[in-house]
Amino acid sequence: MIAVVPESDDVVSVYVTGRDLQRLDPRAGQFFIWRFPAHNGWWQANPFSLSAAPDGRTLRLTAKAVGATSAGLRQLPVGSRAFLEGPYGAFTAMHRARDATLLVAGGVGITPIRALLEESTGPTVVLYRVHSAADAVLLSELRWLADERGARLHVLAGRTGVGDPPFTPFAPGDLAALVPDIADRDVYVCGPPAMTDAVVRSLRTLGVPRRQVHAERFSLA
């Protein structure tokens, strides 16, 4: 483990390196099962997505503190060992069907989306749903990557509270207004389960073919 970088009060990035990392052949959008024996026991293993496209030399995870493992990452000593199992997952550009892409993230679901943006080719739109602008971790990287790729990035701040229409801004009409050619895009969505389900339902309503819809849920159930 070569660095721990706080991204906000409750989100931290961990960078690891190792021999022959490129032989693992990970792809943007995939995840590993991580073990940090310096922090907790061997039996404790947690899935975290790569939050940057793999470059063959380092891998990065970005974790929100929700429990003992994720909160403790902030205290990991530099130089301590990490054990990785993977890569896992089909949330990758290998399964693209169209040239254009829509990437949709909710909260810490930005991690695989950030990695996918780094590898994106063709017209790309990113929708990043956060409670408030201060919760938008990795935002400066996203802005930089979007500029470099000519991608359009929308940060959609707000809570779906009482009185709101359900899942604004992800109701079919809202999505179609933001991305009029949505049916001609591959759509990658990663966020809280309720948000992810709402987006997938809206995509169906909008006639986005099933093979163009790619959803990652941060749940192994």
Ligand X SMILES: Cc1cc2nc3c(=O)[nH]c(=O)nc-3n(C[C@H](O)[C@H](O)[C@H](O)COP(=O)(O)OP(=O)(O)OC[C@H]3O[C@@H](n4cnc5c(N)ncnc54)[C@H](O)[C@@H]3O)c2cc1C
Pick from 13, 46, 202, 212 the residue near ligand X by CB under 6 A: 46
Name the residue type at position 41. Answer: G
In the complex, what is the shortest distance from the CB of residue 194 to ligand X, in angstroms, rounded to a whole number?
11
Helix (H, G, I), strand (E, B) or coil at 2: coil
Contact 66, 128 (CB under 8 A): no
Cα dihedral: 154, 160, 165, 170 (round 10): 40
Q: Is 92 in the site for ligand X (CB under 6 A)?
A: no
Distance CA 143, CA 184 (A): 24
Q: Is 69 in the site for ligand X (CB under 6 A)?
A: yes
Q: Which residues within the stretch 70-89 sit at the binding site for ligand X (CB under 6 A)?
A: 70
In the complex, what is the shortest distance from the CB of residue 136 to ligand X, in angstroms, rounded to a whole number?
15
Residue 173 sits at φ, ψ, to 5 deg, of -65, -40
In the complex, what is the shortest distance from the CB of residue 94 to ligand X, in angstroms, rounded to a whole number?
17
In the complex, what is the shortest distance from the CB of residue 117 to ligand X, in angstroms, rounded to a whole number?
14
For residues 62 and 92, which CB has a smaller minimum distance to ligand X in the complex?
62
Q: Is 30 in the site for ligand X (CB under 6 A)?
A: no
Pick from 48, 128, 167, 188 the residue near ligand X by CB under 6 A: 48
Distance CA 36, CA 40 (A): 6
Distance CA 151, CA 205 (A): 25
Please report, as ranges, the residues that interact with ligand X according to CB under 6 A: 31, 46-49, 61-64, 66-70, 108, 111, 218-220
